[in-house]
Structure 1
Amino acid sequence: MSAADDTQLALALARAAGAIAIEVRANGLLEGRALGDAGDKTVNAFLMAALRQHRPEDAILSEESEDDPARLAHSRVWIIDPVDGTREYAEGRDDWAIHIGLAVDGRAHTGAVGLPALDVVLTSTPGAPVSAPPTRKMVVSRTRPPAVAESVSAALDLELVGMGSAGAKAMAVVRGEADAYLHSGGQFEWDNCAPVAVAQAHGLHCSRIDGEPLAYNRAGASLPDLLICREDLAQPILRAIAQ
């Protein structure tokens, strides 16, 4: 099974899942938390069924399904977030995402991140490094910006921009709309596996905020901090964090 085959599957799943989520939101029959829950559950049911049909030998870790510890014995694990940024999705905003990631031997290997409200899907197909002019912007959580971001912002003169989904923030860097995405204070593997796979394929730095590599398919699935940025900013940001 080739990486290209996995990428094409991730792309197809992200597109189809995005269309389902848009339809659930657009029918106007639900709102608020009920809408968010319906979007999560409906998209998750589709993704779980599709992955079991197309990759029956692989394990799956999904935010919306009970974790099966048997995944820890698998080399290949699909790590998915059916609707990342459920609050933004339910509020009718654009900054939510569909995450379809594949970890192989504990590393983010393949991914697709859909931004359905923008009709955009980005994948881990190798692409040219991000070459847009620097924006001097760093995206952070719009509801829980990490305290360390204030220090980094002041040290490096970066404007902080609040945004919803982790996938939306990571893709803002991939698309050249921001120079960095910094998070601290709690995430899980499904929040960043697919975004990291896509960001890496476009030449961006991806690590923990202490510079350590990101590891996936671990017990507990907690992965509480993350840095995705232009390569030239990686060491300055990591030094600012350490100080």
Structure 2
Amino acid sequence: MPAHDLPLLIDAARKAGQVATGYAGATAQRWDKPDGAGPVTEADLAVNDLLLTTLRGARPGYGWLSEETEDTDARLGHDHVFIIDPIDGTRSFVEGSDTWAHALAVAERGIVTAAVVYLPMLDRLYAASLHGGATLNGAPINASSGTDLQNATVLAAKPALIASNWKGSVCPQFKRSYRPSLAYRLALVAQGRFDAMITLRRSWEWDIAAGALIVSEAGGRCTDRTGSALRFNNPDPRLNGVVAGGATVHGALTSALA
């Protein structure tokens, strides 16, 4: 049951925050992953170890998909799977920023049922369970009800604005902003602080799973770049981009994409 898993995720996320904040980002040992996959630090691995022990210790029958654990097809044989990003926004962590997050989710047969995005440096804990609504630090949150794409605030990296991504090679004239953590971008959309977010590159499930449920439970929509529903625990754990936002702005964005 989603409500059964959510308290476990919340407790684990707070413990992860205690571990991660025990490292000084700029001085934490770090190295680059192969094939340009980005940096990883000793803090990422310490948090991953904690979550693996805590979560699978509590739910030994659940599968496991994490950015910092070598993936195998064993998870495909489980109805329930943890989908984890120990630190989403590692570059921000290294730079000493406060906008990195822990992203924790449970998916049941491809559908996310419980989720947490926690920013320990800001003490912001976003949470949701399927059909249970979304909260920030325990208070209900709601996605934007804005209807005007031209005046919408959209979280997006600059490459998303390239003309070839849009029908007629014309990018809509929305107001662009940016946050490095994908999980945090989704949480901000769920909170209604931004009208939408888009990422058009193939995106790892661990970056998206938690935030996707939080958006949908806050009354927004979260799909791939074509408007198709997201499913998780795929053999290849990458999604075809992500578009999230209030229902009207989400529809306008997906309609405008090439």
TM-score by length of 1: 0.89
Residue type of the alignment partner of 2:162 = A
Residues 24 and 39 in structure 1, CA contact (< 8 A), matched pair in contact too: yes
Q: How many angstroms does 1:158 deviate by?
A: 1.2
Identity across aligned pairs (percent)? Answer: 27
Query: Structure 1 residues 157 and 145 mapped into 2: Cα distance closer, same or farther (>3 Å)?
Result: closer
RMSD over equivalenced CA pairs, Å: 2.5
Residue by residue, what CA displacement relative to the aligned partner does 1:157-207 show, whole Å, maximum 9, x if unpaired? 311112101011111111222111100112111110111111111111010
- Choose the corresponding residue for 1:69, options 60, 69, 73: 73
Residues 146 and 185 in structure 1, CA contact (< 8 A), matched pair in contact too: no
In the other structure, the counterpart of 2:5 is: 6
Residues 143 and 245 in structure 2, CA contact (< 8 A), matched pair in contact too: no
Task: Write the distance in 2 (CA, Å) between the matches of 1:215 and 1:192.
Answer: 11
Query: Structure 1 residues 31 and 38 mapped into 2: Cα distance closer, same or farther (>3 Å)?
Result: closer
Q: How many angstroms does 1:221 deviate by?
A: 0.9
Once superposed, which parts of structure 1, at least 4 consecutive aligned residues long, lie more than 4 Å away?
31-36, 131-135, 148-152
Task: Write the distance in 2 (CA, Å) between the matches of 1:149 and 1:17.
Answer: 40
Residue by residue, what CA displacement relative to the aligned partner does 1:71-103 show, whole Å, maximum 9, x if unpaired? 111110000000011101111112211010111
| Gap runs ≥5 in structure 1 | none
Taking the TM superposition and a 5 Å limit, the aligned residue runs for 1:9-48 are 9-25=8-24, 29-30=27-28, 33=31, 36-48=40-52
Q: How many angstroms does 1:129 deviate by?
A: 3.1
Task: Write the distance in 2 (CA, Å) between the matches of 1:56 and 1:98.
Answer: 21
In the other structure, the counterpart of 1:174 is: 190
Task: Write the distance in 2 (CA, Å) between the matches of 1:15 and 1:149.
Answer: 42
TM-score by length of 2: 0.84
Task: Write the distance in 2 (CA, Å) between the matches of 1:93 and 1:137.
Answer: 22
Q: How many angstroms does 1:146 deviate by?
A: 5.6
In the other structure, the counterpart of 1:90 is: 94
| Gap runs ≥5 in structure 2 | 33-38, 135-140
In the other structure, the counterpart of 1:185 is: 201
Task: Write the distance in 1 (CA, Å) between the matches of 2:253 and 2:175.
Answer: 13
Query: Structure 1 residues 19 and 209 mapped into 2: Cα distance closer, same or farther (>3 Å)?
Result: same
Q: How many angstroms does 1:36 deviate by?
A: 4.5
Residues 203 and 239 in structure 2, CA contact (< 8 A), matched pair in contact too: yes
Q: Tell me if 1:110 matches 2:114.
A: yes
| Matched length | 239
In the other structure, the counterpart of 2:162 is: 147
Task: Write the distance in 1 (CA, Å) between the matches of 2:200 and 2:75.
Answer: 26
Task: Write the distance in 1 (CA, Å) between the matches of 2:163 and 2:104.
Answer: 29
Residues 28 and 41 in structure 2, CA contact (< 8 A), matched pair in contact too: no
Task: Write the distance in 2 (CA, Å) between the matches of 1:45 and 1:60.
Answer: 12
Residue type of the alignment partner of 1:97 = A
Query: Structure 1 residues 229 and 194 mapped into 2: Cα distance closer, same or farther (>3 Å)?
Result: same
The 3-state SS of whatever aligns with 1:117 is coil
Residue by residue, what CA displacement relative to the aligned partner does 1:96-130 show, whole Å, maximum 9, x if unpaired? 11010111111122100011221111001414533
Q: Tell me if 1:159 matches 2:157.
A: no
- Choose the corresponding residue for 2:64, options 60, 63, 83: 60
Task: Write the distance in 1 (CA, Å) between the matches of 2:239 and 2:52.
Answer: 22
Q: How many angstroms does 1:57 deviate by?
A: 0.7
More helix per residue: 1 or 2?
1
